[in-house]
Amino acid sequence: VIFIVGLGPGGEDEITPRAVQALEASDIIVGYKTYVDLLVSRLGHKKLIPFAMKQEIERCRQAAALALAGNNVALVSGGDAGVYGMAGPMLEVLDALEGNTKDLEVEIVPGVTSACSAAAILGAPLTHDFAVISLSDLLTPWTLIEKRLALAAEADFVICLYNPASRNRRDYLRRACEIIMNLRDGNTPSGWVRNAGRKGQAHKILPLSELKNEELDMLCTVVIGNSETKILRGRMVTPRGYKVEGSTP
């Protein structure tokens, strides 16, 4: 069996029981070093195979080979394994492999994606329609990213940004905010969360016009409200549309 497992944001208490079961049923666990390291204390008795960044396809091939040799293998991603994670590449690699991969059982185990873990820290910004956009242009042309930002802003989606910045892409967040601000007020409540559910967790709520100047990194998820999003009790809230009247408890 190959399990493709989302681990959630990183906290030991934020992984689902089903994901833990899949890891316990596995002989070998394959994944990014940071994620695999998080598992060591819990699953030290398993064979853990860490991978460096940018070796996704190689990692999938190795996982497939190990599974074909009769091992139960877990391929792990942070958050959800299907959201910018390993589920898609693994299925593509299996499809491309010749031979007896058809008999391999593949089970995909969902996890809490960063949009959800970040939103819970910021308040309730995703209570209405939202769009998730990655600012990473490693595999996606920047022109397409710009188009998606502009159209999501025009359609008044709450916008959640993954991969908001990296060493080589310091000004991407600023550029993204500028595109959105062409169509959305600079006072729109926005926020970022760094290391949700992990050591070093931090967050900030601020207007869109100020978000643009924040120095963020790959460990951050950004949420930009829609035209209705407001700040209540210091937290972002996007109204669903219910009529809420004051009452005495």
Q: What are phi and psi of 129, to 5 degrees?
A: -55, 135
163 is an interface residue for ligand SAH by CB under 6 A: yes
121 is an interface residue for ligand SAH by CB under 6 A: no
Shortest gap between Cβ of 28 and ligand SAH (angstroms)? Answer: 20
Structure tokens at 208: 């869109």
Shortest gap between Cβ of 170 and ligand SAH (angstroms)? Answer: 14
Q: In the stretch 176-215, what mask flags binding to ligand SAH with x, by CB under 6 A?
A: -----------------x-xxxx-----------------
83 is an interface residue for ligand SAH by CB under 6 A: yes
Q: How many residues bind ligand SAH (CB under 6 A)?
A: 23
Which stretch, 46-54, 113-121, 149-157, 177-185, contacts ligand SAH (CB under 6 A)? 113-121
CA angle centred on 198, ends 109 and 194, rounded to 5°: 105
Which stretch, 47-55, 75-83, 92-100, 183-191, contacts ligand SAH (CB under 6 A)? 75-83
d(C-alpha 223, C-alpha 155), whole Å:
16
Amino acid at 240: R
71 is an interface residue for ligand SAH by CB under 6 A: no
What is the number of helices (H) and of strands (E) in the chain?
A: 8, 13
Q: What are phi and psi of 240, to 5 degrees?
A: -80, -25
Residue 58's Cα: distance from chain center in Å?
21
CB-CB contact of 62 with 109 (8 Å): no
**CB nearer ligand SAH, residue 198 or residue 239:** 198
CB-CB contact of 86 with 77 (8 Å): yes
101 is an interface residue for ligand SAH by CB under 6 A: no
d(C-alpha 237, C-alpha 228), whole Å:
9
118 is an interface residue for ligand SAH by CB under 6 A: yes
223 is an interface residue for ligand SAH by CB under 6 A: no
**Contact residues: ligand SAH, CB under 6 A:** 9-10, 77-80, 83-85, 113-114, 118, 162-163, 193, 195-198, 218-221
